[in-house]
Chains A and B, each alone.
Chain A
């Protein structure tokens, strides 16, 4: 198969080394042409993100020095000593390279497993390869398969479906309480960076109006302006609980800002509408006993972090299902690759022709039966002759090509044109 994948990721290389590589390519220099110039390299893909650098190449024949030359290239770009770099690099070949690419595309190999950006980055890398005419028949198929594997794993496993950051965990909880965040009012107590970030998340998911209360009122006015929201007097916080649906509190106050009594009284006035309180302050701003009140849902920083951690655990479990899909899809790809040789293709081409002849003879069985035996035989012989004549030139051409070198492109074209792999591989 002659596939080789060389790379490093967040697990194998410290950040200083990855940094050097990505700085090198951010300078507008794309090594694809350089990779292609290495003798023996037929197709190539170059993927570089903050967390990884990968080169995938296909050589036409066995070229023992391709691995060394690719490594050389990476070393030169990293501008680092060979020894430093060699420790960080991994090299995969053929089946292992395919599985690694599938795992990367499906985000099984990411720092935050299941994050969605990596697939876009792989797609971009593939687009560049196509632009540089570095992608041929093997990489085209391989990358399209990788995209499909990634999609399958996303939909068939829960790898991407559980919030693993604190703010997403809060948004998911809000959705489980309110259904939709559309039209929901959010009160920020304390105008810190944390509450600002959380508020932006809520707005992104439909949160409607933002109220801001802060000990120094000027800061509240300023931040409310940022969100096109409403500043609230710090002393009136209890009063505004009547209106809002979600509260994010993050002041540096030593005691409780929202006591049990304030919340219980507010709930009565808001006619028991559901209230979601998020306390990200340390020490806490909201009396923890408020969580016992009916229709009040109180979460603090630790609760949210626990949920994010638990969800990471769930994702890890789901990733195991993803690995099974990767293994199965890699096997299917290898199976397809193995059909790309001349002899089996000629055999299946002839089988297909025979199949069509037999089917048509069967269909015409009605009137064929009226013929004399000799005539019927003559018809069958003629049908076979026509099929053989039609196939003669393509088959001869395939044989000639295979003697001159790689007939891969011809084989792939024939298999596609005559649908020799059935319809499932023709996506």
Chain B
């Protein structure tokens, strides 16, 4: 086994460990295990980063075109964004919701990782890489926003219930969770916009037009539209807190469901290798 795979397995194991530690923190309703879990998650993220660097340097090819690599990259961005927030706010136990998602993404991705690579000629070129990376970062930010939204809804419910509750003490404050939503939309929407633009320019060069009414393209446009509207409402109208949390969760669920339908019932020219 080469060093890359060792790093990958190490990261996978550390993600698992941090997930378990976070869950333990929820079970005993104390924050101290979550503190340890944050460090484990940081270690996992570090190993994962080294893995990407290694892939990029040793193989030389664009490492983000296969579905497995893409999922792993998605997980990496989620972990990174969460850890960055952890540095600035006391959102520690939020990790108990982010870490499992990251771990599951990594498990799915691990099935095909390290296999032989055959990228067709059309998928070679810098623009494809930019398109894929920006889009994934944008969508990963939306995923973090929806996880934060979920925790917001729980915490909001607990505070409105007006009963003493250990989970209420454990979970982050509403304002911090709302701030995550703000940040994720603020950066997610422009990044996805750039990603989609890069994609459509590149589509023109290989498929001859910017838009093919491909299911995947429609899905992406829908996602972009939904989040652009949310961001607009947030900045211009002042939708905040509960409503925004609810909509972020709903939007992500809807898009996830649409993605599953698309995968099961339609064929697309827009796919990974």
Question: Which A residues lie at the B interface, using CB under 8 A?
Answer: 158, 161-162, 172-173, 175-179, 271-274, 291, 294-295, 297, 299, 303, 306-307, 310-311, 314
Complex interface bits, B143-173 against A, C-beta within 8 A gives 1, otherwise 0:
0000000000001000110111010110111
Q: Are A299 and B173 in contact (CB under 8 A)?
A: no
Contact A176 B163 (CB under 8 A): no
**A306: which of B89, B159, B163, B237 is its contact (CB, 8 Å)?**
B163
The answer to whether B162 touches A299, judged by C-beta atoms less than 8 angstroms apart, is yes
8 more A-B contacts (CB under 8 A) besides A161-B169, A176-B173, A310-B164?
A162-B169, A172-B169, A177-B173, A179-B89, A294-B242, A295-B241, A295-B242, A303-B162
Q: Is the CB of A314 within 8 A of B173?
A: no
A306 to B162, CA, bound (A): 8
Interface size on B, residues (CB 8 A): 26
Inter-chain contact A178/B238, CB cutoff 8 Å: no
Let me know if A272 and B176 touch, CB within 8 A.
no
Q: How far is the CA of A291 from the CA of B161 in the complex (A)?
A: 10
- B239 at interface (Cβ–Cβ under 8 A)? yes
Across the interface, do B241 and A294 meet the contact criterion of CB distance under 8 Å? yes
Taking CB atoms, residues of chain B closer than 8 Å to A310 are: 163-164
Q: Return B99 CB to nearest CB of chain A, in Å.
A: 21
With known contacts A162-B169, A176-B155, A179-B175, A274–B162 Cβ distance under 8 A: no
Q: Is the CB of A294 within 8 A of B175?
A: no
Give Cα distance in the complex from A311 to B237, angstroms.
39
A162-B169, A177-B173, A177-B174 given; A272·B240 CB < 8 A: yes
Contact B164 A314 (CB under 8 A): yes
Q: Are A294 and B243 in contact (CB under 8 A)?
A: yes
Q: Is B232 an interface residue (CB 8 A)?
A: no
Q: List 18 interface pairs A-B (beta carbons < 8 Å), by A numbering.
A: A172-B169, A176-B155, A176-B171, A176-B173, A176-B174, A177-B159, A178-B175, A271-B237, A271-B238, A272-B239, A274-B241, A295-B243, A297-B159, A303-B162, A306-B162, A307-B162, A310-B164, A311-B164
Q: How far is the CA of A347 from the CA of B162 in the complex (A)?
A: 63
Report yes or no: A179 in contact with B240, Cβ–Cβ below 8 A.
no
Contact B175 A177 (CB under 8 A): yes
Is B90 at the interface (CB under 8 A from chain A)?
Answer: yes
Contact A295 B240 (CB under 8 A): yes
Interface pair A314/B175, CB less than 8 Å apart: no
Q: How far is the CA of A306 from the CA of B165 in the complex (A)?
A: 12
Question: In the bound complex, how far is the Cα of B118 from the Cα of A331, in angstroms?
Answer: 69
Bound CA–CA A162/B173 (angstroms): 16
Task: Check B166–A178 contact: CB distance below 8 A.
Answer: no
- Within 8 Å CB of A172, what residues of B? 169
B179 nearest in chain A by CB position = A179
Q: Which residues of A contact B164 (CB under 8 A)?
A: 162, 306-307, 310-311, 314
A242: min CB distance to chain B, Å:
12
A residues near B155, Cβ cutoff 8 Å = 176
Q: Across the interface, name the chain A residue whose C-beta is closest to B168.
A: A176
Q: Nearest CB to that of B239 among chain A residues?
A: A272
Contact A173 B159 (CB under 8 A): yes
CB neighbours (8 Å) of B238 from chain A are 271-273
* Residue among B162, B173, B241 making CB contact with A175, cutoff 8 Å: B173
Known contacts A274-B175, A307-B164, A314-B164; A176/B159 CB under 8 A = yes
How near does chain B come to A241, taking the closest CB pair, in angstroms?
Answer: 15
- Taking CB as reference atom, which chain B residue is nearest A273? B240
Task: Kindly supply a per-residue 1/0 record for chain B positions 231-252, scoring 1 wherever the CB is within 8 Å of any chain A CB and 0 otherwise.
Answer: 0000001111111000000000
Q: How far is the CA of A32 from the CA of B112 in the complex (A)?
A: 77
B93 to chain A, nearest CB (A): 12
Partner of B173, one of A178, A295, A303, A311: A178
Give the distance to chain A from B35, nearest Cβ to Cβ, in Å. Answer: 13
Smallest beta-carbon distance B175→chain A, Å:
5
Q: How far is the CA of A241 from the CA of B30 in the complex (A)?
A: 36
Cα-based distance from A176 to B30 in the complex (angstroms): 16
A179–B173 CB distance below 8 A: yes
Q: Kindly report which residue of chain B lies nearest to residue A309, judged by CB atoms.
A: B164
Give complex CA distance A307, B174 in Å.
19
Option from B90, B159, B160, B163 in Cβ contact (under 8 Å) with A179: B90
**B173 close to A307 (CB less than 8 A):** no
Task: Tell me the minimal C-beta distance from B52 to chain A in angstroms.
Answer: 33
Among A175, A274, A297, the most chain B Cβ lie within 10 Å of the Cβ of: A274
- Name which residue of chain A comes closest to B238, CB basis: A271
* Complex A-B, nearest 4 residue pairs according to Cβ-Cβ distance, in ascending order: A271-B238, A310-B164, A179-B173, A295-B241
Check A314–B166 contact: CB distance below 8 A: yes
Collect the chain A residues with CB atoms within 8 Å of residue B174's CB.
176-179, 274
Q: Given the complex of chains A and B, what is the CA–CA distance between A294 and B244 in angstroms? A: 11
Find the residue from B162, B173, B178, B240 having the highest chain A CB count within 10 A: B162
Q: Which residue of B lies closest to A269 (CB)?
A: B238
Q: Which among B160, B162, B169, B243 is the interface contact of A272 at CB below 8 angstroms? A: B243
**List of B residues within 8 angstroms of A272 by Cβ:** 238-241, 243
Shortest Cβ gap from B270 to chain A (Å): 38
Asked if B160 contacts A291 (CB within 8 A), the reply is yes
Closest to B246 in A: A294
Most buried by A among B89, B172, B178: B178
Query: How near does chain B come to A297, taking the closest CB pair, in angstroms?
Result: 6
Q: Which residues of B contact A173 (CB under 8 A)?
A: 159
B166→A307 contact, CB < 8 A: no
**Which residues of chain A have C-beta atoms less than 8 A from B30's C-beta?**
158
CA–CA, A294 to B178, complex, Å?
13
> In the complex, A178 Cα to B239 Cα: how many Å?
17
Q: In the bound complex, how far is the Cα of B172 from the Cα of A283, in angstroms?
A: 33
Chain A CB within 10 Å, residue with most, of B90, B176, B238, B239: B238
